[in-house]
C-alpha cells in the first residue's frame, strides 16, 4: 500500500465528493483524555460532529464501534466484527465504494478506522491528510441518512500481532513503539500499570511523522526515517503504542512510505497488565 491509496488531500476529497462516484465519508473524532481523573468531562466526539462536519459524513464512535470494552486485552481491543460491520453498513460502507475517514486533525482515530477497514477486507480506504482542520469547504450540522451498505468484515490473515508475536518480531525484525519517548523510556506513565517498553522495541514516536500542520511528511522523508530506525528492505515491521490507536497512525505513516507493517492492537495497555511479561526501561531497546 503506497501513499497514493493511503491518504487524500482536502482538495482531492472535495473533487471526489463532487464527482460521479462520491466516497463514503466517516467522521471519527476522538481524543485520548485523562480529564475524568481531574473531574473534567471527557471529550465528546459526537457533540463535535453535531456542531459541524464535512457534508455527508457519518459519525463513527471509536470506543464503542472501533473497539470492544477495555479489559485484559487492553484499553481498545479489537471490536466485535458483528458490531463493527453493522456500524460500517449503517454509515453506508459497501465493498465496492471508496471510503474516506477523517478526525479532528490528530489522525489517530481516523487511522484506527482505516486500519480496521483494511484489515477486514475493504479494498479502497484513505485518510484525509490533516483531518478536519485541512478542510476549507462548508460544514453542515444535519446528520445524513445514507442507504445501508453491504460491507461484511472478515478478519485478515495478516497485519495483526498478539503479545507473543510482538515479542518475537522485536527480535526477528523491527518493532516500533509509537508512544512519546518519555513513556517508552519509562520516565512517566500517566495511564498504564508500569512504564517502559517491550524489550527490543525501537522508539519511533508517531508525532514525528507529521509536520506542524498535522499533515504527513513527504513519503521520501518518512521512508528515510523508518529506514534509519531499522526498517530496511525485507525486514518484517510491526508497531504498537498504548492501546492500538496511535499505533495505527504509525502503520498509516509506514504505508505512506511504502512499507507494510503489522499492528499489535493490545499494545502497552495489554502487555503491561501482565506482570509476567518483561519490561525494558531507558533509551536502549533492550
State the catalytic residues: 241
Q: Which residues pair with 125 in a beta bridge?
A: 99
The kind and range of the H/E element at 198 are: none
Collapsed DSSP state (helix, strand, coil) of residue 59: strand
CB 134 within 8 Å of CB 128: yes
Q: What would the grid cell of residue 3 be?
A: 501513499
Regarding beta strands 237-240 and 99-102, do their DSSP bridges make them parallel or antiparallel, or are they unpaired?
Answer: unpaired
Regarding beta strands 202-203 and 160-161, do their DSSP bridges make them parallel or antiparallel, or are they unpaired?
Answer: unpaired
List the helix and strand counts (H, then E) for the chain.
10, 10
d(Cα 250, Cα 263) in Å, to the nearest integer? Answer: 9
Which of 215, 17, 19, 218 is CA-nearest to residue 100? Answer: 17
d(Cα 130, Cα 165) in Å, to the nearest integer? Answer: 32
Q: What would the grid cell of residue 199 be?
A: 524489550
Q: Is 16 left (phi over 0), alpha (psi -120 to 50) or beta?
A: alpha
Measured on CA atoms in the order 18, 99, 54, 257, is the torsion positive or negative?
Answer: negative
d(Cα 260, Cα 16) in Å, to the nearest integer? Answer: 26
Amino acid at each position: 500500500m503506497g501513499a497514493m491509496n493511503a491518504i487524500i488531500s482536502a482538495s482531492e476529497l472535495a473533487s471526489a465528493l463532487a464527482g460521479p462516484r462520491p466516497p463514503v465519508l466517516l467522521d471519527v473524532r476522538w481524543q485520548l483524555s485523562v480529564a475524568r481523573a481531574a473531574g473534567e468531562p471527557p471529550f465528546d466526539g459526537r457533540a463535535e460532529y453535531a456542531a459541524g462536519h464535512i457534508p455527508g459524513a457519518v459519525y463513527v464512535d471509536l470506543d464503542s464501534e472501533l473497539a470492544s470494552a477495555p479489559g485484559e486485552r487492553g484499553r481498545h481491543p479489537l471490536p466485535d466484527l458483528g458490531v463493527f460491520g453493522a456500524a460500517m453498513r449503517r454509515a453506508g460502507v459497501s465493498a465496492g465504494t471508496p471510503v474516506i475517514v477523517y478526525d479532528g486533525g490528530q489522525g489517530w482515530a481516523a487511522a484506527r478506522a482505516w486500519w480496521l477497514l483494511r484489515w477486514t477486507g475493504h479494498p479502497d480506504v484513505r485518510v484525509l491528510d490533516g483531518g478536519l482542520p485541512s478542510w476549507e469547504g462548508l460544514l453542515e450540522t444535519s446528520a445524513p441518512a445514507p442507504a445501508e451498505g453491504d460491507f461484511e468484515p472478515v478478519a485478515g490473515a495478516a497485519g495483526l500481532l498478539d503479545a507473543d508475536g510482538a515479542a518475537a518480531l522485536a527480535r526477528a525484525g523491527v518493532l516500533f513503539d509509537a508512544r512519546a519517548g518519555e513513556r517508552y523510556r519509562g520516565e512517566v506513565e500517566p495511564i498504564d500499570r508500569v512504564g517502559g517498553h517491550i524489550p527490543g522495541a525501537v522508539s519511533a514516536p508517531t508525532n514525528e511523522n507529521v509536520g506542524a500542520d498535522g499533515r504527513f511528511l513527504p513519503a521520501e522523508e518518512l521512508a528515510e526515517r523508518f529506514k534509519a530506525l531499522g526498517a530496511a528492505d525485507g525486514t518484517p515491521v510491526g508497531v504498537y503504542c498504548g492501546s492500538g490507536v496511535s499505533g495505527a497512525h504509525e502503520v498509516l505513516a509506514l504505508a505512506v512510505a511504502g512499507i507494510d507493517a503489522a499492528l499489535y492492537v493490545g499494545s502497552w495497555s495489554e502487555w503491561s497488565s501482565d506482570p509476567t511479561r518483561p519490561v525494558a526501561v531507558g533509551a536502549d531497546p533492550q
